[in-house]
Amino acid sequence: MVEAATRVAFPFAAIVGQPELQRALLLAAIDPAIGGVLISGPRGTAKSTAARALAALLPPSVNASPAPFVTLPLAASVEQLVGTLNLEDVLSLGRVRLQPGLLARAHQGVLYVDEVNLLPDELVDALLDVAASGINTVERDGISQQHAARFVLVGTMNPEEGELRPQLLDRFGLSVTMANPADAAQRMTIMRARLAFDEQPLAFGEQHAGEQTRLADAVVAARAALPRLVWSDAVLHRAATRAMDAGVDGMRADLVILRAARALAALEGRGEVTESDVEAVAELALAHRRVVGANASAASAMPQPQPQPPSNGRQEPLTALHARADRPHHDASAEPSANPSVVGDWGALPPRPESITRVLSVEGWHEKKA
């Protein structure tokens, strides 16, 4: 769904008490190749408000219209997402016409996916492929067409409603975990801001117009500065060290850290990426990729007590840890080895042998002749 350009969005500059979320969204807006932002948290923590507010900061599209804010419905099909080719035009007009999908509509804007953990895997795979490359390929019956699809991907999820596979978690560039405000004064500030916006949205927007303009100009300037920024071997080493300390698989985390650090340096108007930039963004890139039990760097954010790794040794997403903590626990070594039902993951059924019956003939089939 593409929202009307006339809808007034809550000002990005007026968001209260979420500096890490604002930083992650701004970095992804400066360099969409980072791979978007995954926002995890309970209901009512302004996840969708922040995503919609980001679209208002982005520069206008080629035709001078506001940057689009496109919502991907949970019930969308792959064709609705990536588009399709109208082969009927081949017969009538002699050419193939592309019917654009939501990815094309989100070009130069924000693509928002609420409850991304509830989407079918094929939709998430297609979405993340295009978000990383900026190019959408539509194929049908041996015919292929491509179009640009450069957008800021923002996905949200409530861990209580389900998990996201580790392979898909790794494909998101940055992640932020939100919590309910625990300070009464901060909650009062949030309520005042929201009530003022609901009563007089235009007047509330005018109060923050100066800061909104400054942020919008900073995003445009940072995008233009990205190709000129350089990093030293020390910066590369720091990014690699942080990724190794987190025990991540592959090189995607290292590259995301570097891209995010470069975007931060550009946002702050500096001409070189520093090790401090790496430290400032590392946790945003590693929180959802960190292997349980890895030797995390001392510079990471506040440590959280972590459950032990699963018995099969595979990495689990952070969202899986919350569910695992609520499951009954047992010590497999303390159970009799003769009972296979207690070995392996909790809830698994023991193997049961099945006999094989030889089929001599099948009714309706003809016997094969030599």
Residue 296 neighbours by CB under 8 Å, 6+ apart: 245, 246, 290, 303
Asked about 259 being catalytic, the answer comes back as: no
- Exposed/middle/buried for 116, CB within 10 Å: 0-12, 13-18, 19+? buried
Residue 207 neighbours by CB under 8 Å, 6+ apart: 14
- Is beta strand 143-148 parallel, antiparallel or unpaired with respect to 135-140? antiparallel
- Among residues 252, 262, 289, 290, which one is catalytic? 252
Q: Decide if 38 contacts 175 (C-beta within 8 A).
A: yes
Q: Decide if 13 contacts 211 (C-beta within 8 A).
A: yes
- Exposed/middle/buried for 298, CB within 10 Å: 0-12, 13-18, 19+? exposed
| 14: β partners | none
Q: Decide if 66 contacts 106 (C-beta within 8 A).
A: no
| 140: β partners | 143
| Three-class secondary structure assignment of 157-199 | ECHHHCCCCHHHHHHCCEEEECCCCCCHHHHHHHHHHHHHHHH
Q: Which two structure tokens, joined as six digits, stand for 167?
A: 């392979």
Which helix (H) or strand (E) segment is 82 a member of? Answer: helix 78-82
Nearest by Cα to 176 from 11, 15, 14: 15
Nearest by Cα to 325 from 342, 310, 343: 310
Return d(Cα 39, Cα 157) in angstroms, integer.
6
Find the Cα–Cα–Cα–Cα dihedral 221, 224, 228, 232, rounded to 10°: 60
Name the 3-class secondary structure at 258. helix
Find the Cα–Cα–Cα–Cα dihedral 261, 263, 265, 266, rounded to 10°: 170
Q: Which two structure tokens, joined as six digits, stand for 256?
A: 């995301």
Measured in whole angstroms, how far is the alpha carbon of residue 314 from the centre of its chain?
A: 21
Catalytic residues: 252
